[in-house]
Amino acid sequence: MFNKRIKIKDLLKMEPGLSGVVVMGWVRTFRNNQFIALNDGSTNANIQVVAELGQFDENTLKRLTTSSSIKVIGNLIASPGKGQTVEIHATHIEILGDSDPEKYPLQPKKHSLEFLREIAHLRFRTNTFGSVFRVRHSLAFAIHKFFNEKGFVYMNTPIITASDAEGAGEMFHVTTLPIGKPPVNENGQVDYTEDFFGKATNLTVSGQLEGELGATAFGDIYTFGPTFRAENSNTTRHLAEFWMIEPEMAFHDLEDNMNLAEDFIKYIIQHAVDNNLDDLQFLDQRLAEEEKLLPTDKRSEMGLLEKLNFVLTNQFERITYTEAIDILLASPAYKKKKFQYDVKWGIDMQSEHERYLVEKHFKKPVIVTNYPKDIKAFYMRQNDDGKTVAAMDILAPGIGEIVGGSQREERLDLLTQRMNEMNIPTEELWWYLDTRRFGTVPHAGFGLGFERMVLFVTGMTNIRDVIAFPRTPKNAEF
């Protein structure tokens, strides 16, 4: 059997004295024609393979270049070197794949994140991205684990949809009609009745509306899948394709929603700390080195692990939108005109406002509730004051909004009234309104952008560095 290999992560925990161990991986470095640093992606740590002088063919040794892949059989012995407890004395080395050192773009030196984005297909082989994507995997696993333990049903909502759940209109259209000369009707408009689905369709911006259908049958459901926004934004916080976690819960109000969201965030962070401590320690050190290059006032007050533990051990602050605006208006930053965007009741708070509340005022995550209805979506439950809705956003240090949610409007008359006010066609969402016609219940839900969560947990500063192949304006490479 070819693959009896032991992963390096496991080998490094073993006691010396084993013979005939099999390890496979990619060469990081080969020095003195004798010492191979081998990595297989299971950990950032390499295992040293010793190829004793004179024991191996010169042609084989010449092919031990950076990123060449090899199979090694040897004996696991105690290592006399610093920083490692064991090493392998090779008895057999087989080259599985060559790597031309003149053409391979990743050399054993520090590369900028900008350069690595240009070769995103190879950047996983660096320590930084190895750690980021192992943490990403761990968080994804924890998400399913959390909801499964709470009895939620996992739903796969459609990627192609005819509805715009957010009402923002920033959608990617899906069509099989000819691009140059689509058929038109008597009004000169594109005739979508001849399209594949017989109507205009687009890539989903949210699985929420379909998720509510599931919640009104199963009680508690969650979705976890890709969503798409055709927003021409080139910031460090936006992607055109990203993953969303969207639970929907029947018989939940706004407070239940907040409690679940806080528990959820703490659970998945704890899972990463428990299972990926080596990677988080590496990223913690990396962030500290990066921040040394920043002006003092731009540096974080906490290290990465310190920040994560702070979130785990503190209750999130809960304030209303009105209280948040009052805090911002009374802040030294506002009085000294340090905010780029204006502050007044009714604004959609910008990232700088959210980060001030979290990082400067409360110095911990904040849940803001009861936003003005004019800046929120049609499906949010209207409060008795006539001005606000039962919405909630969770704001996190370094990022701003990380979760957005609300209690949903379960009253059919008020929901249809709000849809008419916002010019959302009720006839197209007849299936959604049926949930209010046939056994409506108070219910709530939220959405968490997975990449923003990974950004927060890894300490990376650009969202393009926490998804394997980022999709952004003018960029759909790989």
User: pLDDT (tens digit, 9 = 90+) per residue, 342-385?
Assistant: 999 999 999 899 999 998 999 889 999 999 999 999 999 999 99
Percentage of residues in the chain having pLDDT higher than 70: 99
CA-CA-CA-CA torsion for 9, 15, 19, 20, nearest 10 degrees?
A: -10
d(CA 103, CA 5): 29
Q: For residues 102 and 83, is the Cβ–Cβ distance under 8 A?
A: no
Question: Is residue 272 pLDDT above 90, yes or no?
Answer: yes
Q: For residues 212 and 408, is the Cβ–Cβ distance under 8 A?
A: yes
Question: Is residue 433 pLDDT above 80, yes or no?
Answer: yes
Q: For residues 456 and 400, is the Cβ–Cβ distance under 8 A?
A: no
Instruction: Calculate helix-pair angle for 254-275, 127-149, nearest 10 degrees.
Output: 130
User: What separation in angstroms does the CA of 236 have from each of 321, 353, 403, 461, 464?
Assistant: 25, 17, 17, 7, 7
Q: Are strands 201-203 and 160-161 parallel, antiparallel or unpaired?
A: antiparallel
For the chain, what is the mean pLDDT? 94
Question: Is residue 176 pLDDT above 70, yes or no?
Answer: yes
In this predicted model, which residue has the larger pLDDT, 297 or 264? Answer: 264
**Where residue 169 falls among pLDDT bands split at 50, 70, 90?**
low
Arithmetic mean of pLDDT, 135-148: 98
User: pLDDT (tens digit, 9 = 90+) per residue, 441-473?
Assistant: 999 999 999 999 999 999 999 999 999 999 999
| Beta-carbon contacts of residue 132 (< 8 Å; ≥ 6 apart) | 279, 283, 454, 458, 460, 465, 466
What is the predicted pLDDT for the residue at 294? 82
What is the predicted pLDDT for the residue at 2? 65
User: pLDDT (tens digit, 9 = 90+) per residue, 24-70?
Assistant: 999 999 999 999 999 999 999 999 999 999 999 999 999 999 999 99
What is the predicted pLDDT for the residue at 107? 83
What is the predicted pLDDT for the residue at 298? 74
Arithmetic mean of pLDDT, 232-261: 94
Question: Is residue 232 pLDDT above 90, yes or no?
Answer: no
User: pLDDT (tens digit, 9 = 90+) per residue, 97-126?
Assistant: 999 999 999 987 889 999 999 999 999 999
Amino acid at 13: K
Return the bridge partners of 48, or none. Answer: 37
What is the predicted pLDDT for the residue at 249? 98
What is the predicted pLDDT for the residue at 3? 72
d(CA 469, CA 298): 29
Counting DSSP H helices and E strands in the chain, the numbers are 14, 16
What pTM, to 2 d.p., does this model score?
Answer: 0.94
Q: For residues 381 and 407, is the Cβ–Cβ distance under 8 A?
A: yes
User: pLDDT (tens digit, 9 = 90+) per residue, 94-105?
Assistant: 999 999 999 999
What is the predicted pLDDT for the residue at 322? 98
What is the predicted pLDDT for the residue at 233? 83
User: pLDDT (tens digit, 9 = 90+) per residue, 383-401?
Assistant: 999 999 999 999 988 888 9
Question: Is residue 168 pLDDT above 60, yes or no?
Answer: no
d(CA 340, CA 355): 13
Q: What is the C-alpha radius of gyration for the chain, rounded to an integer number of angstroms?
A: 27
User: What separation in angstroms does the CA of 237 have from each of 148, 240, 466?
Assistant: 29, 11, 11
Question: Is residue 474 pLDDT above 70, yes or no?
Answer: yes
Question: Is residue 1 pLDDT above 60, yes or no?
Answer: no
What is the predicted pLDDT for the residue at 165? 65
d(CA 336, CA 326): 16
Question: Is residue 73 pLDDT above 60, yes or no?
Answer: yes
d(CA 250, CA 216): 6
Residue ranges of domains in the chain, CATH in brackets: 8-97 (2.40.50.140), 125-170+205-465 (3.30.930.10)
